Amino acid sequence: MTAVEIAAAVRSGQRLARSVVDEHLGAIEAGEADVHAFNLVIADQARTRADEIDGAVAAGKDPGPLAGVPVALKDNMCTRGLATTCSSRILEGWEPPYDATVVKQLHNAGAILVGKTNMDEFAMGSSTENSAFGPTRNPCDLSRVPGGSSGGSAAAVAAGFAPVALGSDTGGSIRQPAALCGVVGVKPTYGLVSRYGLVAFASSLDQIGPFTTTVADSAAVLDVISGPDGRDSTSIGEPQPPVSDTLGDGVDGLRIGVLAELSGDGIAPDVAARLQAAVGALTSAGARVAEASAPAAVYGLSAYYLIAPAEASSNLARYDGVRYGLRVDASSTPDMNTATRSAGFGDEVKRRIMIGTYALSAGYYDAYYGKAQKVRTLIINDFASVWEQFDLLVSPTSPTTAFSLGERTADPMAMYMSDVCTVPVNLTGQAAMSVPYGVGDDGLPVGVQILAPALGEPIMFRAAAVLEASL
């Protein structure tokens, strides 16, 4: 059952939330040893919460639009009294003293948290292999990665462990794993969803969004988690119209561009073929499709791999052995800081901190970080021109289907290239989502990325619904 179907059945009393939760906990029990989607499963708490929901329905109350829907949460979103590790040793044992805003919103909507999902450490990676707790495997083929960094969330939905998961997307960490696991993944407009309680990676790029099996489910979840939050000064101040209301409005007359810079060089032929099929479907549905160009988008990856590490090196300075989790003792505080960080962070996090520290250091700031910020402006300007001619853009989500475990771990640059189609949108703050659109030559899922201007979620979801219906 989809999340929308579960909520309808639970709200109307046709199905008990308890039976929904038991069914999903059963799926986790059966498949989790193979997939390793979770860092933590809270079976007892989920059952207790389900009984509460059923009690509310029996008493004539409406538990909310996600009544009885099991949800998995990426392990970088704070849950009060429940370990939140970011898949890092440095936070091992830490239990947040508060809930993230999205956690409260899901709870208030009647959703049921079943566990915290595995991820690349501090969301740095594209395969979920950079986890201190071991990799997650792709449910479509256990020898492949699920993508990353929100690989545990994508895998949990693909494996049927939960119909809904939340992830975070700093450079593609929702969309790329969604594509590789064959599920829907949404990176909302920067500021649409509160990030209060999301452990910061790169604050000017991070955004929370849903994974689901259907477009309508993602719309339902986004409608619950979007909106202003006084606890997040970067949240957009005005409530936005629900995307669910216009889901069926189609794409007739919309101008849709195929973004040349993200759809040509380096894209595997079988992935490119699925994009062409998607273009055909959109055209058949009445959209006017043409090639679009944002020339500076090709510099997205370079700008991203300076800006994101720079912000990360600053954000991760707080892990110093004083306030949370791990401490490795030493005779002075500076030595304790160094010993704790050296033992607590994994390789990729150390690399990013060092890149960022270097890019921000005296003598290199202007050449690297300052330059990257101006390139970011260039990319934003190019997209602004494109939006004068197009309502939406499409491209592949990932240049390839899911790669093998271990294939790219020794070569960080090859791993970074996995993000080439997704990073520009984080730099511009726009909305984008990945919709599963068939399979490649290897039988593994291919995702099509739909890009929309800031706050263009309603039309983005209309196009996603058209693609989904055309399969």
Partner 1 sequence: MGQQRITRAECAHVAALARLELTDEELERFTGQLDELLDHVAEVEALDVGGLAPTMHALPIANVLRPDVVGEVLDRDEVLAGAPLAEDGQFRVPPVLGEAP
Site for partner 1 in 316-335 (CB under 8 A): 320-327, 329-335
Is position 74 annotated as part of the catalytic site? yes
Q: Which is nearer to partner 1, 177 or 429 (CB)?
A: 429
Is position 173 annotated as part of the catalytic site? yes
**Binder to partner 1 among 374, 384, 406, 469 (CB under 8 A)?**
374
Task: Look at residues 135, 120, 139 and name the one whose alpha carbon lies nearest to residue 76.
Answer: 120
Q: Which is nearer to partner 1, 149 or 430 (CB)?
A: 430
Tokens of 260: 């040349």
Q: Which is nearer to partner 1, 65 or 429 (CB)?
A: 429
Site map (CB under 8 A) of partner 1, residues 337-356, x = contact: xxx-xx--x-x--xx-xxx-
Please identify which of the residues 88, 131, 153, 173 carries the catalytic annotation: 173
Residues touching partner 1, count (CB under 8 A)? 72
Beta bridge partners of 448: 396, 435
By CB under 8 A, residue 246 contacts partner 1: no
- Cα–Cα distance, 393 to 255 (Å, whole number): 9
* Residue 166 identity (one-letter amino acid): L
Q: Which stretch binds partner 1 (CB under 8 A): 10-18, 208-216, 276-284, 368-376?
A: 368-376
How many Cβ atoms from other residues are within 10 Å of residue 28's Cβ?
24
Paired sense of beta strands 255-259 and 392-396, if any: parallel
Q: Of 177-216, which residues contact partner 1 (CB under 8 A)?
A: 190-191, 203-204
Please identify which of the residues 87, 126, 127, 149 carries the catalytic annotation: 149
By CB under 8 A, residue 98 contacts partner 1: yes
Is position 331 annotated as part of the catalytic site? no
Tokens of 168: 């975070």
CB of 250 to partner 1, least distance (A): 29
Do 348 and 124 meet the contact criterion of CB atoms below 8 Å apart? yes
**Binder to partner 1 among 19, 370, 438, 470 (CB under 8 A)?**
370
By CB under 8 A, residue 313 contacts partner 1: yes
Site map (CB under 8 A) of partner 1, residues 12-51, x = contact: ----------------------------------------
**Binder to partner 1 among 19, 288, 358, 407 (CB under 8 A)?**
358
The DSSP string of 131-198 is: -TT----BTTBTTB---SSSHHHHHHHHTTS-SEEEEE-SSSTTHHHHHHHTSEEEEPPTTSB--TTB
* Residue 30 identity (one-letter amino acid): A
Q: Which is nearer to partner 1, 255 or 351 (CB)?
A: 351
By CB under 8 A, residue 8 contacts partner 1: no
Our measurement of the distance from residue 13's CA atom to the centroid of its chain's CA atoms, rounded to an integer in Å, reads: 32
Q: Which is nearer to partner 1, 146 or 188 (CB)?
A: 188
By CB under 8 A, residue 388 contacts partner 1: no
The DSSP string of 40-102 is: EE-HHHHHHHHHHHHHHHHTT----TTTT-EEEEETTB-BTTB---TT-GGGTT---SS--HH
Active site residues per annotation: 74, 149, 173
